[in-house]
């Protein structure tokens, strides 16, 4: 199963970046969906109206969306979840093979590009209920996630309008 984590506030972008359009006229979330879809049986969107609501409550950051996706995967018989952010318009074809394996894994420098076994859902419930800052870094440390390096791969992440403008001018990943 795949999940697009799309519940952020887009504060640095200034408007809903998931709906921002790239030079080809398609939205960032459409690009994220198109990049992830070939690698999974189904894709869900987390943290947006019409998608899976963050779990256990709104405004939990990316971990709220991930928790919703993990529970959905567990309830529907999926072994795990490949994730991407709505602001990650490219998903390398070789990434799933590099990520999927023993335990959770993320792409080095891109904490939202990951593989998460569905069986982690109860642990994430406990983590989110604990008194912590709900940082994805804290979660990664808690579960001992593998960090996967893909030397030479540089993926754009759109956080500000100028990032989108540069992406439209420069093209895709290197």
Tokens of 145: 């996630």
Q: Residue for token digits 């049986």?
A: 41
Confidence at residue 165, expressed as pLDDT on a 0 to 100 scale: 85
Under DSSP, is residue 97 helix (H, G, I), strand (E, B) or coil?
helix
Looking at residue 169, what is its pLDDT?
A: 61
pLDDT score recorded for residue 113 = 96
pTM of the model: 0.92
Q: What CA–CA distances, in Å, run from 27 to 9, 19, 50, 143?
A: 16, 5, 16, 33
Domains of the chain: 2-170 (3.90.550.10)
pLDDT the model gives residue 82: 98
Find out whether 110 and 155 touch, Cβ atoms under 8 Å.
yes
In tens digits, the chain (174 residues) has pLDDT values of 999 999 876 778 777 888 889 889 999 999 999 999 999 999 999 998 899 999 999 888 899 999 999 999 999 999 999 999 999 999 999 999 999 999 999 999 999 999 999 999 999 999 999 877 778 899 999 999 999 999 998 888 888 888 888 876 655 654
Q: Compute the distance between CA of residue 134 and CA of residue 52 in angstroms, rounded to an integer.
A: 19
Predicted confidence at residue 83, as pLDDT, reads 98
**In the chain, how many H helices and how many E strands?**
6, 6
How far apart CA 173 and CA 169 sit, in angstroms, is: 12
């Amino acid at each position: 199963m795949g999940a697009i984590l799309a519940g952020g506030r887009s504060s640095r972008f200034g408007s809903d970046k998931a709906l921002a359009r790239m030079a080809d006229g398609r939205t960032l979330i459409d690009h994220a969906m198109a990049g992830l879809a070939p690698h999974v049986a189904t894709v869900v969107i987390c943290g947006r109206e019409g998608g899976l609501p963050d779990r256990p409550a709104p405004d939990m950051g990316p971990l709220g969306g991930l928790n919703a996706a993990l529970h959905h995967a567990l309830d529907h018989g999926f072994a795990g979840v490949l994730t991407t952010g709505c602001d990650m318009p490219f998903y390398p074809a070789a990434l799933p093979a590099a990520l999927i394996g023993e335990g959770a894994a993320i792409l080095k420098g891109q904490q939202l590009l990951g593989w998460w076994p569905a069986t982690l859902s109860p642990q994430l419930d406990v983590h989110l209920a604990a008194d912590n800052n709900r940082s994805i870094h804290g979660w990664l440390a808690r579960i001992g996630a593998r960090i996967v390096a893909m030397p030479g791969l540089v993926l754009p992440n759109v956080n500000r309008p100028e990032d989108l403008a540069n992406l439209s001018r420069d093209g895709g990943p290197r």
